[in-house]
Amino acid sequence: MTVEVLFGLLGVVATGSALLVVTTRQMVHAALWLVVTLGAVAGCYLLLSAEFVAWVQVLIYIGAVVVLLLFGLMLTRAPIGASVDLDASMAQRLAAAVVAGATAGVLVVSLVDAFRGEHIALETDRPRGHSSAVGAALFRDWVLPFEVLSVLLLAALVGAIVLSRRDVSEPAERGVT
């Protein structure tokens, strides 16, 4: 019972802070609200005994992706104060609300249809989300996607280096910020 209540509360926190991410006019605040959203989702994973995924969420999404976002803000000319030009027109807001509602609808319907009230025991000796369960699935069935992922990361890294190198090799543009 406690788990259900906590899950609901974390869901409310996640939804509320997600709304603040898209409604705040301060870009940096949006990135920081995203930390709250992702943290609440990590808490939800933890309550579902998906321990490994929860800590991956903290490490990768809160730790790395938000840092990347903040770096992105620091590299662009984004002002630190409120940006008025972030305001969307009423039509855009309506379109965004329709798209978000439709996406939520698809997710809820497909999840309800897939599980049909199936009960999964959460607390066992070795939870389903334990890292050994993830490791067994990864190295037994999903080895090729795992290796392909390293190529993807390599390609993205090389791309990032090439993009940032171009500025370094043009001394005329140095100092122009």
Partner 1 sequence: MDGFYGGYGLVGLLLLVGVLFVTVAFVANGLLRPTVPGGDKTVTYECGVDPVGEGWAQNHIRYYVFAYLYVVFAVDAIYLFPWATVFAAPGFGAATLVEMFVFIGFLAVGLLYAWKKGVLSWV
Point out which residues bind partner 1 (CB under 8 A): 3, 46, 49, 51-52, 56, 59-60, 63-65, 67-68, 71-72, 74-77, 79-80, 122-123, 127, 130-132, 134-136, 138-140, 143, 146-147, 149-151, 153-154, 156-158, 160-161, 163-165, 167-168, 177
Burial class (CB in 10 A: 0-12, 13-18, 19+), 125: exposed
Q: Smaller CB distance to partner 1: residue 67 or 104?
A: 67
Q: How far is the CB of 114 from partner 1 (least distance, A)?
A: 24
Give strand pairing partners of 82.
26
Rounded-to-integer distance, Cα 66 and Cα 34, Å: 8
Q: Smaller CB distance to partner 1: residue 87 or 170?
A: 170
Q: How far is the CB of 112 from partner 1 (least distance, A)?
A: 26
Rounded-to-integer distance, Cα 24 and Cα 78, Å: 14
Q: Smaller CB distance to partner 1: residue 36 or 130?
A: 130
